[in-house]
Chain A
Amino acid sequence: MSDATLGEICVVAVADTFRGDGEIFASGMGTIPMLGARLARATFEPDLLVSDGEAFFVANDLPVGGTDKQVEGWIPFRSVFDTLWGGRRHVVMGASQIDAYGNQNIANIGDWGKPKSQLLGVRGAPGNTINHTTSYFIGNQTNRVFVEKVDTVSGIGYDRAAELGDWVKAHHELRRVVTNLAVYDFNTPDHRMRVASLHPGVSIDDVIAACSFELVIPSDIPTTRLPTDEELRVLREVLDPKSFRDRELPAA
């Protein structure tokens, strides 16, 4: 019986989104996405490039908040843009809202002209999603986050991408959405969001209650895999000894 926490299950689920990516920039926004990228590189996807969150690629397994960097490259923001427009990146971003086709909003809640709540602005989400693989991590899935229609489309979903011609269709990929309840993908004929796995102890009814659009629900839904012993060791002893993962996502 594993003693893995919800935070650890989510880190591993995020890490799994990078499986098969090879020698590209694995970029994570926030603690759990960043840990996911670093864990993937430390274990099953060793060719990934990961950054310190500032301007350096680091070759060593840098802990969260760590400063003892073995620098293997320089990635200032201008190079980030060059890299992402060139497609050699997979980012895991957050989402304040997301819809059935993966349209994501981090800009504002309410009418864009005079928002009820101004958030970050669209940041790099439009450019990220149109240029390279994108996944999302959402630590608080509710029916106000999984919405019928997002207030401002920041990252573009499959329906929007489909209207933009062949190049975009060939390069746009939303791989997975990892939340505190489940993992989702878009592997359906019309790229509507599908339940890929439920975290241990979560029922399909929990997920449906925390979603305002109609999810694609397969007849047989696996349970999200638990971390291996080696993954737990790397996470607990090397990458996150101070357990920032559990602070970001405390057990329910």
Chain B
Amino acid sequence: MADKRMTEDEAVATLSDGMTIGIGGWGSRRKPMSLVRALLRTDLKDLTIVSYGGPDVGLLCAAGKVKRLVYGFVSLDSIALEPHFRAARQNGTIPEVVEYDEGMLQWGLYAASLRLPFLPTRAGLGSDVVKNDASLRTVKSPYADGEELLAVPALNLDAAFVHLNRSDERGNAQFLGPDLYFDDLFLNATAVGRRFMSVEMIVPTEDLLKNGTIHTMKINRSMVDGVIEAPNGAHFTNCQPDYERDEKFQKEYADAAKDPETWKAFVDTYLSGSEADYQKAVAAR
């Protein structure tokens, strides 16, 4: 019986330059931020990041770690536009950009998780998504309709980061908020060995159903290689029902991002130490 508990730093130590990392959550909601912060502490570079983007994407762009970015959107929800992502796009500092329709991103992850080379859809056809990614191809229906459909290529990931509410030591996990988002697909699209899940709390297996119904248990242990206990680990994004987004801190983050000097001060205050240092600095405000 594998005990899969580890730390964020142990998780990111298994990664290498140039890898493709999928990050769960949605916008500024239930993001695995403690794993993202651990990634910021490494020397890793030239990463491909796949995300329904929020501050995870912003922080990794600001740190210059992103070589290729695959997204449907990047937003902080209550603040519509992510400042670091905007700056990176406007300054042209992300070498390769793949902008998909939100549903195409799901389809790419789903194709990878089913070990298919692609899945067909209409979403994206006719839009500039197909113009801006010249590698996209269409496929003709082999049936009588003969319709031309977009073939969304599998988004195979080298590593996945997700943040859930509860799990046991072996990786049986549950989401207690209103939406799983696409966290199961991020895990299933990833090669065995680097599927990392942080959780608010690790509980005994027999306690899982005390927290919520069977419908909350969408992640089973065959989908997970590493479990990281990270209370407040999604901060400053939300992790309902455990906590709401820290709007005040998010505003501080977004304001700091407007200027290199204030951003440097933000990094010094919050992002220059360990996860424990971060949580301490957040609590000390």
Interfacial residues, chain A to chain B (CB-CB below 8 A): 54-56, 74, 76-78, 81, 84-85, 107-108, 112-127, 129-131, 152-156, 160-161, 163-165, 167-168
Contacts and interface: CB of A to CB of B under 8 A. Distances in A.
Given A120-B75, A122-B100, A130 B126 contact: yes
Interface string B113-124: 000000001111
Interface residues of B, number: 41
Contacts of B73: 120-123
A112 B128 contact: yes
Contacts of A107: 99, 128
Contacts of A117: 86, 90
22 contacts: A76-B180, A81-B106, A85-B103, A112-B132, A118-B85, A118-B86, A121-B53, A121-B74, A124-B101, A124-B102, A125-B101, A126-B126, A127-B123, A129-B127, A130-B122, A130-B123, A130-B124, A131-B122, A153-B131, A160-B127, A164-B148, A167-B145
A251 to B, nearest CB: 24
B122 A116 contact: no
Which of A112, A130, A131, A160 has the most B CB atoms < 10 Å from its CB? A130
Contacts of B128: 107, 112, 122, 152-154
A185 B70 CA distance: 35
B72 interface: yes
Interface string B47-63: 00000010000000000
Contacts of A122: 72-73, 99-101, 127-129
B39 interface: no
Contacts of A167: 122, 145, 147
Contacts of B124: 126-127, 130
A76 B73 CA distance: 17
Contacts of B99: 107, 112, 121-122
B126 A163 contact: yes
B178 interface: yes
A160 B122 CA distance: 13
B278 interface: no
Which of A118, A125, A129 has the most B CB atoms < 10 Å from its CB? A118
B102 A127 contact: yes
B182 A118 contact: no
Contact of A118 (B26, B90, B126): B90
Contacts of A155: 127
B126 A156 contact: yes
A76 B175 CA distance: 12
B102 to A, nearest CB: 5
Contacts of A130: 122-126
Contacts of B85: 118
A77 B182 contact: yes
